[in-house]
Chains A and B, each alone.
Chain A
Amino acid sequence: MGTNVFESPIAPLPKSRLDKLVFARLAQLNLQPVLCSDAVFVRRAYLDVLGTLPTAKEAREFIQDPDTENKRRLLIDSLLEREEFADYWAMKWGDILRIKAEFPVNLWPNAAQAYHRWVRASIIENKPYDKFARELLTASGSNFRVGPVNFYRAIQNRTPEGITRTVALTFMGSRAESWPTNRLAGMTAFFSQIGYKPTGEWKEEHVFWDPLASGNAPGNSAAGRAAIAAIVDPSNSVAQVSLAACTNTAPVEATFPDGKRVKLSPDRDPREVFADWLITPKNPWFTRSIVNRVWAWLLGRGIIHEPDDIRDDNPPCNPALLAYLEKEMVAGHFDLKSLCRLILNSQTYQLSSIPRFKTPEAEANFAGYPLRRLDAEVLIDAINKVSGSSDLYTSPIPEPFTYIPKGMPAVAIADGSISSPFLALFGRSARATGMENERNNKSTPAQWLYLLNSTEIQRKLEQGPNLQTIFNSGRKPAEMAEVLYLTILSRFPTADEVKAIEGYSGASAAKAAQAVKAAATNSAATNVVSAKRDGQSPKSTVRSPQSLVASSNTVAGKSNPVVRPGPLGSLGPRSKLSDKPVIVKRRDDWMDIAWSLINSEEFLYRH
C-alpha cells in the first residue's frame, strides 16, 4: 500500500529500548509496521492525552510545522502540561475508583466531589503513583473533607471481603474471583478493622481505623440519614456507646497475597501494613498493574489483556516489554507523566492504524494502533467543540437536582451520577465495580440513530455558533472544505475530497461544471449568488437522484473533471433555476457536508 493521508512515508526505525523490544517481536512474526502521518498523530495525541480534539488552528500549525525532527516530542511535552490532561485522566481514574454519588456505590454528592477533587489535584501535581495508592489505602476522616477516604466507601459490598476484592482489582489489576480462596482470606484480615460512622451532618460519614469494632456496637454506626435520625437524641447529639461494649475481635494475623504471613500489631492500622507491602518496588502486582493499565489506556490494549485481569494463566504477550516498563517505573519513582511520555514518544505508539495484518498476534503485539470508538464523554465534547454548542448534564437524584455550568466539558464531570442521555447511550462507565470493561465503546444501532438523524445533532449543525461562523464566512468552497476538515477531522482534505465537496449540490451537473471552471480561473467574480435564485430556492430538502449520481461520478472518475448528466439525461427540477453562475453553496449543503464528516468513522474513532 502506498502512502496516503493517514501514513508517513518515513519507515519506522526502532531506536529506544521500548521500540526495540516491540519491533523484535514484530520481526519474529514477520510484520513490517508503518508510521502514522503528522495529521493522524496530532489528533491521536490530543485525544489520548487530553480527551479533546485539537482546534483547526492547532492542527494546521502542527501539520505545517517544518521541524519534523522534534515536533512530535515537543507536542507531547506541551500536552502533558495542559489542564485538560488532569480532567481527562481524572475521568479515567473516576471509573476505576468509582466516583459516583448515587446508585449503586452511593458516595453522595459532596463526597463524590471531594473524592474527584483529590484525584484531579493529585494528577496536576503529578503525585508519584506509590504515594497516590498509599493515600487511598490509608486515609481516615470525613468523606466530605478527606477525599481519598471515599475509596473505602465507593464499594458496593463493604465487608472485609468486598473491600479486599476492590483493593485487588484497583491496585493489583487482579480479579479475586480467580484467586485461591486462602489468598483472599489471608488478605481480608488487613481490611477487617475499617470503621464507618455517621455524623450529625446529613450524609457525612467518617472512615477510620476501628480495631475495637466500635462501629459494630448497636446504634453506633450506620450509613444514611434514617439511621442517624434514629440515634440522634433530642439534644441533637449522637449517643455515645461505652467502649466497654466493644470487644477486640480483630484477627491478629494476616497473610499477604504472596503468601508471607504477618502478625498485626494492636497499635498499627493494618491498612498501613498492607499498603507498605503493596508499594514496594519488588511487589509482583503493583508496578506491573499500573504500567500495564497506562499502556492499555494509551494503546487500547494491555500487554496483559484485559488490563485488570493479571493472573498466572494470563501471561503478557511481551514479557520483556512489560519488565522494561516496570523497571523504568521504579527507576522513575513512580512518575506517571514520565511513563506517559515514554510511551507517547515511542514509534510503537505512533504506528499507523490502517489494518494490514490480519492475525490476532499482530493485534496483541501492537503491530498497529488499534481503532477504538471515542469514549462517550470525549465524543460529545468533540461534537460540541466542533459545533460550538453545549450539552446539559444533570443528576435527577437526589433533589434538589444537580446541574453543572453550561459549557463544561463532559470529560470534566466529577460525578458519574451527573449525566445526559447521550453519555448513557454511548456507554459511559456505570462506575459500579471499577472494572475497565464497565465502559462500553462498542458501536450500536441506537447510537447511529442518534448520530445520523437526531434532533440534537441537527440542532448543533443548524445552530452551533462555531459551524455558523464557518458556514457564513463567504469563503470559496475549497477553502471552506479545508476549514471544515481541519475543524472536524484535524487534517487537510485531499484533492478528491475537495472535488466531491464542490460537486455536492442539489443543482447537480451544471453547477458542478461551473465550479470546476471557477476553480480553474480562480476568479472572485464567480463568488456570487444570484439573489433571484436564492429567493426561489426551495427550503432545502429536495434532492433529485441525478445530483447524487453526479456527485458520485465526481469521485469515481477521480482524474476526470468532466461531469456527465445522470443516466436519465435530466438534470432534475432544481437545475432549471441555475441559469446563473452559483458557486457559493447553500447553507444546507455545507450542513450536509459537516454532517457527513461527523458521521464518519474517521471522526468517531481514535485512529
Chain B
Amino acid sequence: MNPSNHSGPIIRGSHSLGMNCSLPLSRREALRLGLFSTAGLIFGAQSAECGVRNGVVMAPVGAGTATGGAALPKAKAKSVIQIFLWGGMSHIDTWDPKPDAGNEYMGELKKAIPTNVDGIQVGELFPSLAKQADKYSLIRSMTHRNNGHETAAYFMQTGHTPGERLAYPSIGAVFALSKSPEYKGLIPPYVVLTQPQGRFSEEGFLGPLYKPFATGGDPNAAKFEVEGVVGRGITYDRQKARSVLRDNLNTMGEVMAGSPQLEASVEARKQAYELILGQARGVFDLAQEKTELRDRYGRHTFGQGCLAARRMVEAGVPYIVINYPGGWDTHSNHFATMRRQCPQLDQGLATLLQDLHDHGLLDSTLVWCCGEFGRTPKIDWQPPWNGGRNHYGNVFSVLVAGGGFKGGHVVGASDAKAEEVKDRPVYPVDLLGSIYTLSGIDATAKLAHPMGAEAHVLPGVSEGVKSGGLLKEIM
C-alpha cells in the first residue's frame, strides 16, 4: 500500500495531546508517534502477566505455549472478522442451493444465480455476493452432527466436543491470549459487535480477562455509542470536568498515596481515560467515512457493524466478532425472515469484502461467516412451523475469505438434497485449525489450565475428534 494514498480513518483533533491535526490511524505510524506506548499494555500483555502475579497460571506466558510454535509459517492473517449467524442460517436457501431438489426442499426460494466465478452458484437473495465470488470460497461440507444451539456454538468456536469436563476458550479468547505479546492497540484485542452471544462463556478456563469486549450501542445510530468509550449524553467536556472534580474530591487517594493497590488502580484508570479521552475512540466514529461508502454498506446495524469492523482492522484489532443482529433461528416464519435478512447480509458482507480489498487489507484480514449449524433442508410444513426449517448439524455451509484463504473455490459438497456430506467433510477442528494456521497460532500448543489439566488449543487426533484435514486446497 502506498502510504501517500492512505485512506484509513482520520482521527480529527486531539484534545488530550493538544494537537489540532488530522492523522491517519495506521498502526505503524501511530507506533512511530508513540501514541500507543503506555496504553498498549492495557488489555494485552498485562493480562497475560497478571495470571502469574495472582499465583494461578491462568494464561500461558511466552514461548512454548499458544504463542510458541517455532515451525509455524509466517502469519498471513493479521486480523480476523468472524460474522456469526447465530441461530443457524439455512444453507440450502443461501450458499448451497439445490434448484433440482424440488418444492419440498426449496420452497419459495427456488432460484440459484450464477456468480462471477464459472460453475459457482448461490441463492437468489445474494446478488451482491454473486459479483464477489472470486474473493471468497464456500465450504459446503461443514459438519458436526450437533443440533443444540449452545453445544453446537461451543463446538464451532472452540473445536472441542461439547460435554467434556473442561470449558475451553473460544477462538477469539485464544487470539486475545496469543496476540497479547505483540498487540499494543488501545482497543481490546477481542471485540464483539455489539452484544456477546452468551450461549457459553467465551473465555472458558482462561478466565474473565479474555472475555470479549462487547461494544454495545448501535453502529447504525446517529452516534455509535460504544460502551464505556463513547458515553451517552456525556460530552468530552463534561467527561473532563468530571475527572477534575473527581481529583478534587479524592481525599482518600491523597492520604493513601504510595499504596501499591491504589497505584494499580490509578494506572488502570489512566489507561481507560486514554481510550475515553484519547484518539482511539475515533475508530468508532463512523461519521468520518464517506456517505457514499456508508450507504453501500447499508444503513442497518449489520452493514454499519461491518464498516466498524473494517475500521478496527485498520487499528490492528486481532479478533472481531459481528454477532448478526436478529438471529437466524427460523423454525417458523422462515421464508419471510430470509427475505428480510439475507439482503442485508448480502449487502454488508459483499461491501466489506470489496472495501477490505480496496484498502489493500483483504490479504491480511481473514473473514469467516456461518452459524452454529444449518437448517433442515426438507421444509417442515406442519403447524406450528408452517414452512419452517429446524436445527441441522449434519451438513451446512461456511463462507471464508482473505487472510490467506483463496477466493473462487468451493470446498466439499453436500448430496443432492443438501442433507448429508457427499465429498470432503470439514469438521470444526479443520476450519478452526486452518484459521489458526493462517494467523500464526500453533493449534497444538498447550493452554495453561488453573487446575493443571492437560489442555490444548485444539484437540489432537488422539482425543478422538473427527477431522477431514486442514483446508489446504484453499490455503
Contacts and interface: CB of A to CB of B under 8 A. Distances in A.
Contact of B216 (A104, A455, A541): A455
A446 B228 contact: yes
Contacts of A104: 165-167, 205
A183 B439 CA distance: 45
A62 interface: no
A605 B249 contact: no
Given A444-B268, A541-B235, A548-B240, A600 B246 contact: yes
Interface stretch (A8-16, A81-89, A142-150, A496-504): A496-504
Contacts of B249: 497, 500-501, 593, 596-597, 600
B256 A448 contact: no
Interface string A443-484: 111111110111100100000000000000000000000000
A177 B253 contact: no
Contacts of B55: 306, 437
A323 interface: no
B251 A371 contact: no
A172 interface: no
Nearest to A401: B198
A432 interface: yes
Nearest to A223: B163
A471 to B, nearest CB: 16
Contacts of A605: 261-262, 265
A443 B208 CA distance: 12
Nearest to B244: A548
Contacts of A596: 242, 245-246, 249
B188 A446 contact: yes
B256 A354 contact: yes
Contacts of A399: 149
Nearest to A105: B165
A381 to B, nearest CB: 18
A371 B256 contact: yes
A455 B268 contact: no
A430 interface: yes
Nearest to B243: A452
Contact of A601 (B213, B245, B265): B265
Contacts of A370: 261
A453 B245 CA distance: 15
Given A370-B261, A443-B264, A454-B231, A543 B240 contact: yes
B227 A454 contact: yes
Interface in A575-607: 588, 592-593, 595-597, 599-602, 604-605, 607
Interface residues of B, number: 74
Interface in A385-415: 396-399
Nearest to A423: B208
Interface in B165-213: 165-167, 188, 196, 198-201, 205, 207-209, 211, 213
Interface string B203-245: 0010111010110100000000101111111110111111111
A353 B225 CA distance: 38
Contacts of A440: 54, 207-209
A315 interface: no
A397 B255 contact: no
A372 interface: yes
B268 A448 contact: yes
A396 B199 contact: yes
Given A421-B214, A438-B450, A448-B269, A552 B238 contact: no
A157 B239 CA distance: 49
A39 to B, nearest CB: 11
B291 to A, nearest CB: 26
Contacts of A442: 50, 54, 264
Interface in A156-192: 156-157, 165, 177
A1 B269 CA distance: 27
A551 B272 contact: no
Contacts of B256: 353-355, 371, 601, 607
A458 B228 CA distance: 10
A354 B199 CA distance: 44
Nearest to B266: A601
**Residue of B149, B165, B207, B243 contacting most chain A CB atoms (<10 Å):** B165
A342 interface: no
A221 interface: no
A97 to B, nearest CB: 15
A606 to B, nearest CB: 10
Contact of A548 (B43, B201, B241): B241
Which size class do A's interface residues fall under? 35 or more
Given A371-B256, A445-B43, A455-B231, A5 B205 contact: no
A1 B258 CA distance: 14
Contact of B225 (A427, A455, A601): A455
A437 B258 contact: no
Given A442-B264, A599-B246, A424 B211 contact: yes
B232 A458 contact: yes
Contact of B242 (A430, A497, A595): A595
Interface in B417-433: none
**Residue of A1, A157, A602 contacting most chain B CB atoms (<10 Å):** A602
**Residue of B214, B261, B262, B264 contacting most chain A CB atoms (<10 Å):** B261
B18 to A, nearest CB: 13
A573 B166 CA distance: 61
B354 interface: no
Contacts of A551: 244-245, 248
A554 B214 CA distance: 40
B229 A453 contact: yes
A602 B252 contact: yes
B450 A432 contact: yes
B248 A453 contact: no
B150 interface: yes
A355 B258 contact: yes
A111 to B, nearest CB: 16
Contact of A156 (B165, B247, B261): B165
Contacts of B227: 449-450, 454-455
Nearest to A396: B198
A103 B167 contact: yes
B37 to A, nearest CB: 15
Given A104-B167, A592-B241, A452 B273 contact: yes
Nearest to A547: B241
B368 to A, nearest CB: 23
A558 B444 CA distance: 63
A157 B198 CA distance: 25
Contacts of B240: 543, 548
Contacts of A541: 233-235, 237-238
Contacts of A447: 268
Contacts of B47: 444
A4 to B, nearest CB: 6
B266 to A, nearest CB: 8
Interface string A427-438: 110101101011
A438 B265 CA distance: 20
B265 A432 contact: no
A425 interface: yes
B208 A371 contact: no
A230 interface: no
Contacts of A156: 165-166, 451, 453
Interface string A206-226: 000000000000000000100
B75 interface: no
A46 to B, nearest CB: 17
Given A437-B55, A592-B242, A596-B242, 12 more contacts: A370-B261, A445-B43, A445-B268, A450-B228, A452-B243, A452-B273, A543-B241, A548-B241, A548-B245, A554-B248, A588-B238, A592-B245
User: Shortest 7 CB-CB distances between A and B: which pairs?
Assistant: A449-B228, A448-B272, A543-B241, A602-B252, A103-B167, A104-B167, A445-B271
Interface of B: 39, 42-43, 47, 50, 54-56, 149-150, 163, 165-167, 188, 196, 198-201, 205, 207-209, 211, 213-214, 216, 225, 227-235, 237-253, 255-256, 258-259, 261-262, 264-265, 268-269, 271-273, 275-276, 450-453
